[in-house]
Structure 1
Amino acid sequence: MSDAQAPQPRYKSDLIYGLEDRPHFTAAMFAALQHVLASFVGIITPTLIVGGVLGLESEVPYLVSMALFVSGLGTFVQARRFGPVGSGLLCLQGTSFSFISVILSAGFMVKARGGGTDEILSTIFGICFFAAFIEVVLSQFIGKLRKLITPVVTGTIITLMGLSLIKVAVTDMAGGYGAADLGAASNMGLAALVLLTIVVLNRFNNPFLRLGSIVIGLTLGFIVAWWLGRVDLAALPQVPLVSVPVPFKYGFSFDWVAFIPVAVIFLISPLEAAGDLTANSMISQQPVKGPLYIKRIKSGLLADGLNSVMAATFNSLPMVTFAQNNGVIQLTGVASRYVAYFIAGLLVLLGLFPMIGAVLQLMPKPVLGGATLIMFGTVAVAGIKILAEAGLHRRNVLIVAISLGMGLGVAAVPEVLRELPKALHNIFESPITVGAFCAILLNIFLPEEFMELEEDEFDPEASTLKVMQDPDPTK
């Protein structure tokens, strides 16, 4: 979130429809379709990954439907505003990648003790339900939270998230967990096709091709896989015509050990969302300082938290404000929050048909891995960018080096935890938890004087460590 005292970036006045304007039906629907196109893969991919890795294939069609359904409801809440809930901006809500690694850890924990599909899902949604209230509470104290969870902490945790998920993407590229042909040339070839397609399309100046590059890459990979006989349409699972949203369909369970890593991510989730809401305000030509801005941020974060509560209730993963849709607003010149009503309607409609999830479930793992490698790598780069903006002077380098080293070290050599009591072992086997605790504690106990010493020792104008602030937070 931008500091209210700092100079605020300005965007060109290219809006065709402002925040409170009401576009005619054709313009609103066209803009809504572009938002759905830009976000569709992001909404469904976390569910496909969690379902595939944890062996929940029988439930994936329904879970994908619920991800789309709650994204539609959350988008409506965020734009419509209900009392103090909702930013009133054209903000699309979608499933968050930030929670994948800790949710997978929770799922494996339940699976290791013999839990079946229902127990795994009831535990995941139970801990996410309660953890989401952390964001609900923190939304009203975002200023104080920023003093504890500083950019160096946030950047370290986000970088660790991306790096820890790379293994999932590369395993999918090779064929997926437990595949008999893991690492086969055909698997790597499919993944490379998707990867190269996305890279090539991003080289074009056409914004439509760039926005749709992941969707096009996945579609091309799916078609080629089908042509090679890698997609068996006969294996399409039998699903009902319409998905009926059932609150806590799989039951409701809770586990303290699994809860803590998820709670840690909910500590930094408000900071990410605040940055996205600030960028959206800038693009929509709304204030980015003053009482209205503060109220909008608090209301938007409150909606984020309550939407994650709703997501867990309707059997979906936690949600967050999507940053990529800020680019769609710039592209279309349509910032009207009423367009969000069309987006919400389209997502809810898509979510009512489980056949969409059933077809997507047939997507070969290498095809999905080729796209998620870029997505997860982008998460890591976003964290690195935050660290660069925070400044890599001596104090911050120590925090980042130790936190990343501990987090990645535990992931690479889990045996270092074998002497810990079982409860602590289960908590700290997540690299995100280890890295987050290290970063937060070091940030508290390492004095700020380290930074002052650096400023005395180096000429800010000549130092190669000087931070160049990027005026565009949407990049």
Structure 2
Amino acid sequence: MSAPDAFSRPSELIYGLEDRPHFSAALFAALQHVLASFVGIITPTLIVGGALGLQSEVPYLVSMALFVSGLGTFVQARRFGPIGAGLLCLQGTSFAFLSVVLSAGFMVKNRGGGTDEILSTLFGVCFCAAFVEVLFSQCVGKLRKLITPVVTGTIITLMGLSLIKVAVMDMAGGFGAPDLGAPLNLGLAALVLLTIVVLNRFDRPLLRLGAIVIGLGVGFVAAWLLGKVDFAALPQVPAVSLPIPFKYGFSFDWLAFVPIAVIFLVTPLEAAGDLTANSMISRQPVSGPLYVKRIRSGLLADGLNSAMAAMFNSLPMVTFAQNNGVIQLTGVASRYVAYFIAAILVLLGLFPMIGAVLQLMPKPVLGGATLIMFGTVAVAGIKILAEAGLHRRNMLVTAISLGLGLGVAAVPEVLASLPPALHNILESPITVGAFSAILLNIFLPEDPDDGEHPFEPEASILEVLQDPEAHADAVPPARPVGNASH
């Protein structure tokens, strides 16, 4: 059975890529896409805002995250010249950048920077770094020796593992909470965790797709009944929030730029997997010139959408994978549905009260959900490593890189004697692990005795992009997780 057949059997398409569903069908399908992706879009902003003490700006930042996700989704589906994959693929803020964005934010905060300086630096650096992905999209096939599956898998695993500390801290009550580790906090987190796990075990696709949303809702109601939610603390926000380009200013810092730029080299590989899976489900080619053009256009849109997100005061964006499951569920692959998704997200983004209410969500409730999300990111990296082949050489690359990255995170004092500039760059575990994996992958020779690993794929995404004719039957592995990686 071919790969496309495997995807099409469970759910025959009712509307193909270029079909135009009637209004009610398109709206219903769009609402399911928004439901499946809503938490992934807003959660990174809630985490960054809470961790960096930016509570007064969180409602506006959440609004902008929804707004730019709508614009990015429209760009990907509509296509503007060479920009956009032309698929029903949803754009949203990425979990992959959380660790490096938090490191950059704390760097500015520790030197006395206020809210405006923190945000101007974050968005200024993300704007510039987004063009790393823009350049990557134009030469993606030529970089396969530099960014290989073992490098990608190592970095993604490190992302997930380094973020678990954030989730566990939230489960305990959040950094600086007076009741840190209280049984009530852990109980709320456990309730959310258990709800998500139970719903994921059901056979009904709608319950699985909405598991995180429902879990957060159950936790929020329970916390409210237990007196953990104070609606009197709801901040005063305007009825409508209009996007203001670089509202907090524009600043640039090389020390913050390097780690973020590294992640912009990795996320295109994840996005390529998601776009490939989307093409398969939509019954589009997954080899040949059209496929290669679609991937490059999609990655170019990813990079430009991230630059647009920074301009409109939001975190970098990436192509989500969650909506691939919604396409299978609904049988609707029409890219015109993305116009409805974009309109819904843009409208939601204009009302900051949504962000103000979400800001009241207790940290233990959020932590119960993000523990699963971050753990899933780590498992996605492990899956890529298994597919790459964990023979002796790759095990060395992975073991050393994970050891260095997690070691710096656990014992930051190891960098105490380094010059300040180098210390600030290497204090991010993602940067240390990424540089280690890339350098080892370049200079550590292949061992001919290792042979082919039984789980090694026939061709990586980059190999297919570089020479589509030589790999006409190869299908790149799709990323199993969405943005929870994203």
Q: TM-score, normalised by structure 1?
A: 0.95
Query: For the residues of structure 1 that align with 2:144 and 2:71, how far apart are their CA atoms?
Result: 29
1:100 to 98, 103, 114: 98
1:419 Cα offset (Å): 1.0
Cα RMSD (Å): 1.3
Letter in 1 for 2:317: M
Match of 1:357 in 2: 355
Match of 1:398 in 2: 396
Query: For the residues of structure 1 that align with 2:218 and 2:274, how far apart are their CA atoms?
Result: 31
Letter in 1 for 2:450: E
1:146 Cα offset (Å): 2.4
1:428 Cα offset (Å): 0.1
2:450 to 434, 450, 454: 454
1:466 to 447, 451, 454: 454
Query: Which structure 2 residues correspond to residues 209-220 of structure 1 after superposition, within 5 A?
Result: 209-220=207-218
Query: Which structure 2 residues correspond to residues 431-446 of structure 1 after superposition, within 5 A?
Result: 431-446=429-444
Query: For the residues of structure 2 that align with 1:156 and 1:145, how far apart are their CA atoms?
Result: 17
Query: For the residues of structure 2 that align with 1:469 and 1:193, how far apart are their CA atoms?
Result: 39
Preserved contact between residue 16 and residue 332 of structure 2 (Cα < 8 Å): yes
Query: For the residues of structure 2 that align with 1:141 and 1:195, how far apart are their CA atoms?
Result: 42
1:287 to 280, 285, 288: 285
1:110 Cα offset (Å): 0.2
Match of 1:304 in 2: 302
Match of 2:155 in 1: 157
Letter in 2 for 1:193: L
The answer as to 2:17 corresponding to 1:12 is: no
1:87 to 85, 88, 94: 85
**1:147 aligned counterpart, secondary structure:** coil
User: Which blocks of at least 5 consecutive residues in structure 2 are unaligned?
Assistant: 459-474, 481-486
Preserved contact between residue 326 and residue 474 of structure 1 (Cα < 8 Å): no
1:324 Cα offset (Å): 1.1
**1:182 aligned counterpart, secondary structure:** coil
The answer as to 2:36 corresponding to 1:38 is: yes
**1:454 aligned counterpart, secondary structure:** coil
The answer as to 2:333 corresponding to 1:335 is: yes
Match of 1:4 in 2: none
Query: Which structure 2 residues correspond to residues 83-232 of structure 1 after superposition, within 5 A?
Result: 83-232=81-230
Letter in 1 for 2:331: G
Percent of aligned positions that are identical? 82
Letter in 2 for 1:399: V
1:113 Cα offset (Å): 0.4
**2:329 aligned counterpart, secondary structure:** helix
Preserved contact between residue 8 and residue 288 of structure 1 (Cα < 8 Å): no
Letter in 2 for 1:466: P
1:474 Cα offset (Å): 5.6
Preserved contact between residue 257 and residue 427 of structure 1 (Cα < 8 Å): yes
**2:92 aligned counterpart, secondary structure:** strand
Query: For the residues of structure 2 that align with 1:287 and 1:325, how far apart are their CA atoms?
Result: 19
Letter in 2 for 1:157: I
Query: For the residues of structure 2 that align with 1:148 and 1:117, how far apart are their CA atoms?
Result: 37
Letter in 2 for 1:429: E
Query: For the residues of structure 2 that align with 1:339 and 1:65, how far apart are their CA atoms?
Result: 22
Letter in 2 for 1:276: D
Query: For the residues of structure 2 that align with 1:392 and 1:75, how far apart are their CA atoms?
Result: 36
Residue deviations 1:246-292 (CA, integer Å, cap 9, x gap)? 00000000000010000000011111111111111011000111111
The answer as to 2:246 corresponding to 1:248 is: yes
Preserved contact between residue 380 and residue 479 of structure 2 (Cα < 8 Å): no
Query: For the residues of structure 1 that align with 2:325 and 2:245, how far apart are their CA atoms?
Result: 34
1:429 Cα offset (Å): 0.3
Q: How many residues align?
A: 459
The answer as to 2:231 corresponding to 1:233 is: yes
Residue deviations 1:133-156 (CA, integer Å, cap 9, x gap)? 000111011111223100000000
Query: For the residues of structure 1 that align with 2:424 and 2:367, how far apart are their CA atoms?
Result: 27
**1:320 aligned counterpart, secondary structure:** strand
Query: For the residues of structure 2 that align with 1:182 and 1:298, how far apart are their CA atoms?
Result: 47
Preserved contact between residue 324 and residue 474 of structure 1 (Cα < 8 Å): no
Residue deviations 1:302-359 (CA, integer Å, cap 9, x gap)? 0000000000000000000001111110111000000000000000000000000000
Preserved contact between residue 64 and residue 354 of structure 1 (Cα < 8 Å): yes
Q: TM-score, normalised by structure 2?
A: 0.93
Match of 1:3 in 2: none
1:363 Cα offset (Å): 0.2
Query: For the residues of structure 1 that align with 2:381 and 2:322, how far apart are their CA atoms?
Result: 16
User: Which blocks of at least 5 consecutive residues in structure 1 are unaligned?
Assistant: 1-6
Query: For the residues of structure 1 that align with 2:320 and 2:204, how far apart are their CA atoms?
Result: 22
Query: For the residues of structure 1 that align with 2:430 and 2:143, how far apart are their CA atoms?
Result: 19
Letter in 2 for 1:453: D
Residue deviations 1:81-126 (CA, integer Å, cap 9, x gap)? 0011000000100000000000000000000100000000000000
**1:148 aligned counterpart, secondary structure:** coil
1:210 Cα offset (Å): 0.3
